[in-house]
Amino acid sequence: MASSPVKPGDSVPDVTLYDGKPDNKVKLRDLYKGKKGLIFGLPGAFTPNCSTYQLPHFLTRNEELRDAGIEVMVCVAVNDPFVMEAWAKHNKVDGQIHMLADKDMELTKALGIVMDCEPVLGNKRMKRWSGIIEDNVFKTVNLETKDGGNAYTISGVDTILGQLKELDAK
């Protein structure tokens, strides 16, 4: 487990996530190799903020993100792959975003962003966050800290788009 939360300059961990079925493994590093992308994590599929704000905002602004240079988009949560697939269908993601399950919390632990949701959701989950990745290196990390990670203030699309402009200006 990471001793401190992920930060800019850290490498994307070499972890396996799941797409739709437990046998459909995805190596996260393979998705970002030689590419510019974004990733956003959330406590769980079908939960209020995640379903009302976070995922819908990334979907409705997909084209704007792509125009800003994003080649790969990943949404990840501590759920099983069947739940993530059902959530993708429910939200008509249609392949615009990779909807990946961190069913064993491999990524969550490696990034040091475990959140205790046992009283409400029954288990530990991933804190709400987002980041920009270039060729497997985090360029930005936006980790929500208010209310144990349940707030949605700094990990959204507006933050990512602003950071993309700043990175392009450098």
Contact 63, 87 (CB under 8 A): no
166: enclosing H helix or E strand? helix 157-169
CA atoms within 13 A on the CB side of 138: 20
- β-pair partners for 17: 26
Q: Which of 28, 42, 50, 111 is catalytic?
A: 50
Q: Any catalytic annotation for residue 50?
A: yes
The residue type at 12: V
The Cα–Cα gap between 43 and 24 comes to 22
Q: Which residues are catalytic?
A: 50
